[in-house]
């Protein structure tokens, strides 16, 4: 049985900030590893 890519991503755990561990729900910025707060803290 082949899962669709949509199902695959739905089953992924929530992305978390590498600095504070907060869950990142900005899907458009999925390439980032930091939450909005930490991103603003670091230039």
Q: How far is the CB of 10 from Zn ion (least distance, A)?
A: 24
Shortest reach from residue 13's CB to Zn ion, in Å: 16
Nearest to 27 by CA among 9, 3, 41, 11: 9
C-beta closer to Zn ion: residue 19 or 29 = 19
14 to 43: interface string for Zn ion, x by CB under 5 A? ---x-xx-x------------x--x-----
Q: Return the percent helix, strand and coil in the chain, to nearest 5.
A: 35, 10, 55
């Amino acid at each position: 049985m082949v899962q669709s890519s949509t199902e695959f991503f739905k089953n992924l755990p929530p992305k978390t900030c590498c600095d504070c561990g907060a869950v990142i729900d900005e899907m458009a910025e999925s390439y980032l590893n930091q939450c909005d707060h930490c991103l603003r803290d670091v230039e």
